[in-house]
Amino acid sequence: MTAENARRRRTAFVTGASQGIGAAVAVALARDGFDVAVSSTRPEKLAGVTAALKAAGAAAVPVALDVRSHSGIEQAMSEVIGAFGRLDVLVNNAGVPLRKLALEVTPAEWDAVMGANLTGTFFLTQHMGRHLIGSKRPGCIISIASTHGLVGRAERSTYGIAKAGIIHMTRMLAIEWAGHGIRVNAIAPGRVESMSPARAATTADPKYLESALKRVPLRRFCSVEEVAQAVCYLASPQAEYITGQTLVLDGGLTAC
Catalytic residues: 159
| Nearest Cα to Cα of residue 67 among 96, 107, 89 | 96
Alpha helix segments (H runs only) across 9-156: 20-31, 47-55, 70-84, 107-114, 120-135
Whole-angstrom CA distances from 213 to 72, 82, 138, 183 are 39, 45, 40, 34
* Cα separation, 92 vs 95, whole angstroms: 9
- DSSP string covering 194-234, please? ---GGGHHHHT-HHHHHHHHHT-TTSSPEEHHHHHHHHHHH
Evaluate whether 99 touches 156 at the Cβ level (below 8 Å).
yes
Q: How do strand 60-64 and strand 89-92 relate by DSSP bridges?
A: unpaired
Beta bridge partners of 144: 187
| Partners of 13 in beta bridges | 37, 90
